[in-house]
Amino acid sequence: MKKILNYINGEWCPSSTGKFTPVLNPANGQVLAEVTQSTQEDVDRAVQAAKNAQKEWRLVPAPERADILYKVGYLLKERKEKLAQILTSEMGKVIEEGRGEVQEAIDMAFYVAGEGRRLFGDTVPSELRNKFAMSVRVPIGIAGLITPWNFPIAIASWKSLPALVTGNAVVWKPATETPMVAEEFVKIYEDAGLPKGLLNLVNGSGSVVGNAMVDHPDIDLISFTGSNEVGKEINGRAGALLKRTSLEMGGKNAITVLEDADLDLAVEGILWGAFGTAGQRCTATSRVIVHKDVKEELERKLLASIEGLKMGDGLDESVKVGPVINRSSLERIDEYVKIGQEEGAKLLTGGRIVSENGLDKGNFYAPTIFTDVTPEMRIAKEEIFGPVVSIIAVTSLEEAIEVNNSVEFGLSSAIYSADVNRIFQAMRDLDTGLVYVNAGTSGAEIHLPFGGTKGTGNGHRDSGVASLDVYTEWKSIYVDYSGKLQRAQIDNN
């Protein structure tokens, strides 16, 4: 059986417990590998290694750091297919999406490597004569990364690449469900020549390894993507230590379809948003807010198109909807469907665990559409993280925006319309970090900031230039070459 180890100070090693847990293929329950389960002791060792390595790394010119990240990009490209296959086997997304996710990491690597020759600060005029003023970015120290299973390599790339290019060292805990792709990503950094100690992989649970990282006095910041509940806990613990946290949490994203929309286009966007990655994206479409005049037609078109979505093992190229991550997730989704029915929503299609056609060994949930949902229902408010979408009827754009914004999350929203005036109004008023026009709620590109408002995050962003803010402090530097004491705000007024 393949064993997945930790990577600490440039060495692959089992954890101090010597314990391993199985890694399962969600499409068929097969054991793919065993992964080591670490403790605080392993985190301590990783932090020590990171600390030593960072002392030198911060002095390496950023373009030179970036040279290694370019190599990471090329190796990701070279190993794209292998990575996609591993990704699909351990987390279930269909292979086409697996390839797309690896592409996201490739894009990020080249983009961030380019930052090695930018990392812009400001030079500004001083208010005093013979004085020079500028601001520069400096690394914070050690970044603790806690990443989810749904985008196990893309999100790890969003966090590790900017952390490293800006001169930090990293301690990374991947999700327990996806250690195989994490191992491959670390091997790429290793093969690209990243000096030892700068990227340390510690496998294990959130409650043991995650907490040890959050509480560790020498980890300077935590970047986390995952559930709201865990994010709040991290924020509380880290806040008490005045530790920076960058949190990317839930979503309850909606597509608004106005009465003048291209309905066929909207149907494609809804199906892709709601059932792609079996609804397990932070950006998944879980609500459709539709003008009442086109509601029935939209429902008819959705039902006709949903027939074409083949379920099965994501490694089969013809499959469009793969399994959900594990049994408990499957049961939670089914529980939400029951709640929806009890709340009085009407089930249009789906609403059941699928076990026929040999799918009984995997975690398959039928693509599910509820209609006649009201904004107060739990299925319209809470994140389900599965292939379930709720249709809510409204009578105007204003009402649609109100419904869109009524949830506690604010990651992504989309509007389908042909009216430029109403589109611009929506762009202004939709309270989410991502807004799509005539496109679904997923599809973020890495050179723009990724993140959300309200309960989705705490104001930071992954990817794009904005991600540099998570991993750097600003240092403002004044150089007085007048040879005399010059008091700002006093001697010049």
Instruction: Point out the residues that are catalytic.
Output: 248
Strands of the sheet containing 253-257, edge to edge, are: 346-349, 368-371, 388-394, 285-291, 253-257, 412-416, 434-437
Candidates 29, 63, 121, 443: give the one binding ligand UN1 (CB under 6 A): 443
Q: Please, what is the end-to-end C-alpha distance for the chain in angstroms?
A: 75
Q: For residue 79, how far is the Cα from the chain centroid?
A: 22
- At what angle are helices 80-91 and 95-115 packed, to 10 degrees? 120
Identity of the residue, 139 or 433, whose beta carbon is nearer to ligand UN1 in the bound complex = 433
Identity of the residue, 6 or 225, whose beta carbon is nearer to ligand UN1 in the bound complex = 225
Least separation in angstroms between CB 412 and ligand UN1: 7
Q: Return d(Cα 117, Cα 134) in angstroms, integer.
A: 17
List the x/- string, 393-432, binding to ligand UN1 by CB under 6 A.
Answer: ----------------------------------------
Candidates 253, 283, 285, 458: give the one binding ligand UN1 (CB under 6 A): 283
Q: Which of 403, 368, 370 is nearest to 386 (CA)?
A: 368
Asked whether position 274 contacts ligand UN1 by CB under 6 A, the answer is: no
Identity of the residue, 97 or 259, whose beta carbon is nearer to ligand UN1 in the bound complex = 97
Given a contact cutoff of 8 angstroms between Cβ atoms, the answer to whether 85 and 98 are in contact is: yes
Q: Residues with Cβ < 8 Å from 172, sequence gap 6 or more?
A: 144, 145, 147, 156, 160, 182, 186, 199, 200, 201, 202
List the x/- string, 331-370, binding to ligand UN1 by CB under 6 A.
Answer: ----------------------------------------
Candidates 42, 104, 107, 313: give the one binding ligand UN1 (CB under 6 A): 104
Least separation in angstroms between CB 253 and ligand UN1: 10
Identity of the residue, 101 or 259, whose beta carbon is nearer to ligand UN1 in the bound complex = 101
The dihedral over CA atoms of 48, 53, 59, 65, expressed in degrees to the nearest 10, equals: -130
Identity of the residue, 57 or 224, whose beta carbon is nearer to ligand UN1 in the bound complex = 224
Q: Residues with Cβ < 8 Å from 419, sequence gap 6 or more?
A: 258, 260
Least separation in angstroms between CB 1 and ligand UN1: 30
Asked whether position 461 contacts ligand UN1 by CB under 6 A, the answer is: no
Q: Return d(Cα 252, Cα 412) in angstroms, integer.
A: 8
Asked whether position 282 contacts ligand UN1 by CB under 6 A, the answer is: yes
Asked whether position 259 contacts ligand UN1 by CB under 6 A, the answer is: no
Asked whether position 439 contacts ligand UN1 by CB under 6 A, the answer is: no
Stretch that binds ligand UN1, among 22-30, 76-84, 343-351, 438-446 (CB under 6 A): 438-446
Asked whether position 444 contacts ligand UN1 by CB under 6 A, the answer is: yes
List the x/- string, 136-165, binding to ligand UN1 by CB under 6 A.
Answer: --------------xx--------------
Asked whether position 385 contacts ligand UN1 by CB under 6 A, the answer is: no
Stretch that binds ligand UN1, among 78-86, 162-170, 190-198, 441-449 (CB under 6 A): 441-449
Asked whether position 442 contacts ligand UN1 by CB under 6 A, the answer is: yes
Asked whether position 246 contacts ligand UN1 by CB under 6 A, the answer is: no
Sign of CA dihedral 426, 430, 433, 435: negative
Candidates 65, 281, 301, 461: give the one binding ligand UN1 (CB under 6 A): 281
Asked whether position 79 contacts ligand UN1 by CB under 6 A, the answer is: no
Stretch that binds ligand UN1, among 182-190, 277-285, 326-334, 391-399 (CB under 6 A): 277-285
Residues that bind ligand UN1 (CB under 6 A): 104, 150-151, 281-283, 442-444
